[in-house]
Amino acid sequence: MTIYRDRRKREFIAKLSISNYQLTINHYLLQTQFIYQHNSKMQIKELLNGFSEGKVAKVRGRLISFRPHGGSAFGHIKDSTGRIQIYGKVDKLSNFAEFLHLTLGDIIEVEGELFLTKTSEKTIFLSSFSILTKPQNPIPKEWYGIKDVELKHRKRYLDLLVNEEVKERFEKRSKIISCLRRLLDEKGFLEVETPMMHTIAQGAEAEPFLTHHNALDLSLCLRIAPELYLKKLIVGGLDRVYEIGKTFRNEGISTLHNPEFTILEAYLAYANYNDMMELSSWLISSVAKEVLSETKIIYDSNTIDLAPPWKKLSVFPAIEEAVKEEVKDLEDCARVCEKLNIKEIEDPFKTLVDRFVQPNLIQPTFLVDFPAQLSPLAKKRADDPNIAERFEIIIAGCEIGNAYSELSDPDEQLENFKRQGKVDYDFVSALSYGLPPTGGLGIGIDRLVMLLTNQTSIREVILFPLLKPNEEVRNVVIPK
RNA sequence: GGGCCGUUGGCUCAAUCGGCAGAGCAGGGGACUCUUAAUCCCAAGAUUAUAGGUUCGAUUCCUAUACGGCCCA
């Protein structure tokens, strides 16, 4: 449903000779040609690359600037690959009058001879043009862009159209993800898809979104992590698996949290958390090298070098150093929180780490030696049963990833589940068939993209971040 | 959940101490045959987020609500 803001515009459109129906037909024919005639597929970048004066070319794009002067007019059209100048002249273009009626945002097809203007700009001298789609609402001008953050998020299509750097940022996101895939594929990892609807929310400490399957009359929740299913695949002999996909946590929204976010989880059999340190630093530095052609990045005024090896930091000594108190275990954490007058917190350990340790870790750091009690799916260290073989990846003061040697003992897993108060017997059963020593890694893709695109809000790297419906949406959507 | 800030035409922004809501761009009409943020002329476009309150008078001050941003939890 379109909201017509500009009444005059709407009336003007109504007077146009081309009906919407015809536009649709035109467009459909074009799509058909697109499929069957290979040479009609040309995009602007291709045209610019193969540019030679005198050649005749046909391209399609959106009109982003228009400068008529009487008997001629210049403009620019752009598609996803680039932009090119077009030039129409009254004696060359039979429908020149209609040409002069073009407005910014019109989606047109143009055909003509290529030439260079006197400033040597590559230009198409139009012999014909046609309107493929006539927008009913105006498109803001690129020069001014869209700055209103709410508008940028609600109408991302306008943000993408008008703000070039936004388009580039999301292209970069896409490259980062495809690069991660390629790197893992090359190492023999198999990409898999596991259920997003779970009967028990497991794999992380988070509130799930609840839903229901009607035919089975079954209560389900959206996954808060893919972890357990992926480990079942390791039991099943798929020794190297990974999944990149959405995960859902029914929690607050912040510059670091969106209720649905993208996670990469990778599991490697016959490996432990040390191997995962190697894998994760290699992955992240390789992605940076490939996408930014540099392992040194600038993030929020810090220069960060992602090249391995990364620093390792034991978490309890790090807390001690930060709060200048003796902190050896979880009781100490609770005591320190009390002493510092930090109240109403669920997890004193996490609070101290988040507040006092993490913010100071700008360069990539493996934060190691997490308490076993807070790591119910991780293997305990052989020399210290209170400590898990687990680490978090901290870069620019932000938790980017989490990994451990996977717990493979079904009895111990069952005990851990019971202590948490929710038991996934299905998973315990899977473990009872034998999980090889396995290293597991989770990386928050959105945060990684933030890091590599120098964005301080997660909403700037998610195309459509969750927003409360505003009046416009509520008025249109609610059917009751 | 708490604190602070914001919301003015389609977009980007003004509006002095509480005193006639204004500009640029976009959109409409006109002039202009190598422009590129084209230029020039004309006309139009606003329930200042919403609902109240104070006041002779509110974009401006107060209260509540909605949405957003940042910070904290």
8 Å CB contact between A318 and A357: yes
Walk me through the domains of chain A, giving residue ranges and CATH numbers. 7-133 (2.40.50.140), 168-310+363-460 (3.30.930.10)
pLDDT at A341: 82
pLDDT at residue A36 tops 70:
no
pLDDT at A477: 41
**Is the CB of residue A383 inside 7 Å of nucleic acid strand B?**
no
Separation between the CA of A341 and the C1’ of B73 (whole angstroms)? 14
pLDDT at residue A30 tops 70:
no
Phi, psi of A21 (to 5 degrees): -60, -45
Q: What is the mean pLDDT of chain A?
A: 90
pLDDT at A475: 60
Residues 390-409, chain A, CB closer than 7 Å to nucleic strand B: none
Could you report the per-residue pLDDT of A378-399, keeping only the tens digit for each?
999 999 999 999 999 999 999 9
**Is the CB of residue A71 inside 7 Å of nucleic acid strand B?**
yes
Q: Kindly indicate the confidence band of residue A478, based on its pLDDT and cuts at 50, 70 and 90.
A: very low
pLDDT at A474: 66
Residues 74-103, chain A, CB closer than 7 Å to nucleic strand B: 74, 76, 85, 89-91, 101, 103
Pairing mode of beta strands A365-368, A311-314: parallel
Could you report the per-residue pLDDT of A8-28, keeping only the tens digit for each?
444 444 444 444 444 444 444
Closest to A400 measured CA to CA, from A321, A304, A323: A304
**Is the CB of residue A475 inside 7 Å of nucleic acid strand B?**
no
pLDDT at A41: 66
Question: How many C-beta atoms surround the C-beta of residue A413 within 10 A?
Answer: 22
Angle between helices A315-323 and A330-339 (to 10 degrees): 20
**More confident position, A32 or A447:** A447
Supply the ipTM of this predicted assembly. Answer: 0.93
**Is the CB of residue A341 inside 7 Å of nucleic acid strand B?**
no
In degrees, rounded to 5, the angle at the alpha carbon of residue A394 between the alpha carbons of residues A453 and A372 is: 145
Could you report the per-residue pLDDT of A183-220, keeping only the tens digit for each?
999 999 999 999 999 999 999 989 999 999 999 999 99
pLDDT at A344: 66
**Is the CB of residue A148 inside 7 Å of nucleic acid strand B?**
yes
8 Å CB contact between A64 and A34: no
Q: Give the closest nucleotide to A101 (alpha carbon vs C1').
A: B28
**Is the CB of residue A137 inside 7 Å of nucleic acid strand B?**
yes
8 Å CB contact between A329 and A371: yes
Residues 152-171, chain A, CB closer than 7 Å to nucleic strand B: 153
